[in-house]
């Protein structure tokens, strides 16, 4: 079915229309949507206190103790500040992503499909109020605004998962076409990079292989180094006002949920390169850091009492 009227009407009647307009995964439907789905690449230059661009990159499921010993992740840590007391919020994956943009898990405790009330705000409400541009970059999402899961069309392996897209569970995002249009794939990331149209706030999710979920820590480490190395020397991405955090959604369920988290980019002063910071942080610190930097106020959730990186 390609955006069938029946589906749309049923969805509208059941109140989940916002979550069902871009869910077809068939080849023809995807090709059609890829050709027509709205894609937006807003930019802005709102001066922040410490940085003018914030980039979050999330890998999957590894303990701090193992990740910090991985050769490539240790190499990246040597280029920035290692946060040695950084914790994920919960298990499994999805509520961590949800919490990182909304300040709460909103009771979500699994990886199922959830719809958070349209009255619930996220960081993008605060960013938009302040004129700070934002986008999500989700590897292997077949087109902008896509709302389902997507597999590799040749192998059937998992590629893009909705549960790893931090904003997709929020009706306040999915009911808004302009917001859906800022949920983009890596093709768009490189296009935006080429055109000097990257936003000031972004969240990057590699596919299920590259983030380590369906592969290994070694794969996630290699991907991270290969992805970041050219970008760190690319002024369209990294200036002395760019702050990058590379972290993991959660640790293994056997552990304390301490995860690897490293601050990178030109906003890390040369005096701080190669240092560690033992302050207690968690994923809510991502919100507090952004709110503090651009004087955004708060969501009134766990972001309020979180500690900012600066």
Ligand X SMILES: *[C@@H]1O[C@H](CO)[C@@H](O)[C@H](O)[C@H]1NC(C)=O
Cα 221 to chain centroid distance, Å, stands at: 17
Read off the tokens for 278: 């033992």
Chosen residue from 43, 65, 195, 216 binding ligand X by CB under 6 A? 65
Q: Does 181 bind ligand X (CB under 6 A)?
A: no
Q: Does 149 bind ligand X (CB under 6 A)?
A: no
Using the minimum distance from each CB to ligand X, give the nearer residue, 110 or 194. 194
Interatomic CA distance for residues 28 and 212, integer angstroms? 30
Chosen residue from 78, 256, 279, 307 binding ligand X by CB under 6 A? 256
Q: Does 255 bind ligand X (CB under 6 A)?
A: yes
Peptide bond into 92 cis (omega under 30): yes
Q: How many residues lie near ligand X (CB under 6 A)?
A: 33
Q: Does 188 bind ligand X (CB under 6 A)?
A: yes
Q: How far is the CB of 130 from ligand X (least distance, A)?
A: 27
Active site includes 214?
Answer: yes
Task: Mark the segment that binds ligand X (CB under 6 A) among 98-106, 139-147, 261-269, 271-279.
Answer: 139-147
Q: Does 210 bind ligand X (CB under 6 A)?
A: yes
Chosen residue from 19, 39, 104, 222 binding ligand X by CB under 6 A? 39
Residue with tokens 């369209």, as numbered in its chain? 236
Chosen residue from 120, 200, 258, 292 binding ligand X by CB under 6 A? 258
Interatomic CA distance for residues 64 and 75, integer angstroms? 15
Q: How far is the CB of 287 from ligand X (least distance, A)?
A: 24
Q: Which residues contact 121 (CB under 8 A, 6 or more apart)?
A: 102, 172, 299
Task: Mark the segment that binds ligand X (CB under 6 A) among 47-55, 163-171, 172-180, 188-196.
Answer: 188-196
Residue 49: Cβ-neighbour burial (10 angstroms; 0-12, 13-18, 19+): exposed
Interatomic CA distance for residues 193 and 242, integer angstroms? 14
Return phi, psi of residue 94, to 5°.
-50, -50
Q: Does 252 bind ligand X (CB under 6 A)?
A: yes
Using the minimum distance from each CB to ligand X, give the nearer residue, 129 or 235. 235
Task: Mark the segment that binds ligand X (CB under 6 A) among 6-14, 20-28, 97-105, 248-256.
Answer: 248-256
Using the minimum distance from each CB to ligand X, give the nearer residue, 55 or 290. 55
Which member of 192, 214, 240, 303 is catalytic?
214
Using the minimum distance from each CB to ligand X, give the nearer residue, 188 or 202. 188
Count the residues in the chain: 310
Q: How far is the CB of 215 from ligand X (least distance, A)?
A: 9
Active site residues: 214
- Site residues (vs ligand X, CB under 6 A): 34, 37, 39, 63, 65-66, 139-140, 142-144, 152, 157, 159, 185, 187-188, 190, 193-194, 207-210, 234-236, 251-252, 254-256, 258
């Amino acid at each position: 079915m390609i955006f069938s009227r029946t589906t749309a009407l049923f969805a509208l009647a059941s109140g989940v229309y916002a979550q069902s307009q871009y869910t077809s995964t068939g080849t023809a439907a995807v090709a059609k949507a890829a050709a027509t789905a709205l894609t937006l690449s807003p930019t802005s230059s709102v001066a922040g206190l410490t940085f003018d661009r914030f980039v979050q990159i999330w890998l999957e499921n590894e303990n701090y103790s193992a990740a910090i010993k991985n050769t490539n992740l240790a190499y990246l840590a040597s280029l920035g500040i290692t946060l040695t007391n950084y914790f994920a919020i919960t298990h499994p994956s999805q509520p961590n992503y949800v919490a990182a943009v909304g300040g709460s898990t909103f009771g979500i405790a699994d990886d199922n499909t959830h719809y958070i009330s349209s009255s619930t705000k996220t960081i993008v409400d605060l960013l938009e109020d302040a004129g700070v541009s934002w986008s999500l970059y989700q590897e292997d999402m077949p087109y902008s605004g896509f709302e389902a899961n997507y597999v590799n069309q040749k192998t059937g392996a998992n590629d893009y998962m909705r549960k790893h897209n931090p904003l997709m569970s929020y009706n306040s995002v999915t009911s808004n076409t302009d917001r859906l249009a800022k949920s983009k794939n890596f093709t768009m990331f490189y296009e935006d990079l080429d055109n000097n149209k990257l936003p000031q706030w972004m969240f990057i999710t590699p596919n299920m292989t590259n983030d380590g979920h369906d592969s290994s820590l070694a794969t996630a480490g290699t991907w991270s180094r290969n992805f970041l190395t050219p970008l760190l020397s690319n002024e369209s991405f990294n200036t002395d006002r760019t702050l990058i955090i590379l972290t993991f959604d959660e640790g293994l369920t056997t552990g304390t949920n301490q995860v690897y988290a490293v601050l990178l980019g030109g906003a890390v002063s040369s005096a701080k390169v190669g240092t560690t910071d033992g302050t207690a942080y968690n994923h809510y610190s991502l919100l507090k850091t952004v709110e503090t930097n651009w004087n955004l106020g708060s969501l009134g959730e766990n972001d309020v009492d979180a500690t900012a990186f600066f």
